[in-house]
């Protein structure tokens, strides 16, 4: 699966996961503690807190914002004291927050694990910009409120 992960300096993050046809499958947008989840395949939308979201979407941890989790996935330090780091050979090799462990196999290969759930990520490209992220529009035909599941 291909995805695009964006984080801005204002504590906002946006994750878009694409289908095999390269159309958006899901969009997760968070502004601080407020999360919007869009499932484009099922035309559903959910809004709630980051804590509620972490309960049902396994790779986000309670105790840090979604933007902080995105920073960890990108190999950057989070803005939270809830994260502990392990170093090997002078570089961060692992970050742990609550029951989520982020392991850095190389600068471009990251593994996120929570219990028996495991997500391996290979970063193909990184781009920096000063643009602020904007919340996605929720299409009028989307049905409200089914809880998101991975």
What digits encode the pLDDT tens for the residues 89-143? 888 999 999 889 999 998 789 999 988 888 889 888 888 788 999 999 999 999 9
Kindly give, in sequence order, each residue whose CB lies less than 8 Å from that of residue 54, ignoring residues fewer than 6 positions away.
60, 61, 62
150: confidence class by pLDDT, cuts 50, 70, 90: low
Cα gap 79→97, rounded to integer Å: 12
* Model pLDDT, residue 102: 95
- When the pLDDT of each residue in the chain is averaged and rounded to a whole number, the result is 89
Taking the model in full, what pTM does it have? 0.85
């Amino acid at each position: 699966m291909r995805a695009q992960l964006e984080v801005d300096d204002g504590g906002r993050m946006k994750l878009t996961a694409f289908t095999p046809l390269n159309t958006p499958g899901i969009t997760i947008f968070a502004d601080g503690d407020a999360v919007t989840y869009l499932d484009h395949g099922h035309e559903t939308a959910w809004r709630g807190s980051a804590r509620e979201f972490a309960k049902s979407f396994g790779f986000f941890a309670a105790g840090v914002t979604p933007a902080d989790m995105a920073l960890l996935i990108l190999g950057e330090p989070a803005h939270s004291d809830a994260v502990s780091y392990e170093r090997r050979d002078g570089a961060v090799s692992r970050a742990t927050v609550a029951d989520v462990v982020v392991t850095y196999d190389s600068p471009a290969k990251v593994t996120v694990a929570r219990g028996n759930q495991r997500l391996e990520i290979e970063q193909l490209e990184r781009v920096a910009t000063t643009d602020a992220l904007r919340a996605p529009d929720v299409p009028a035909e989307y049905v409200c409120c089914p809880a998101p599941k991975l």
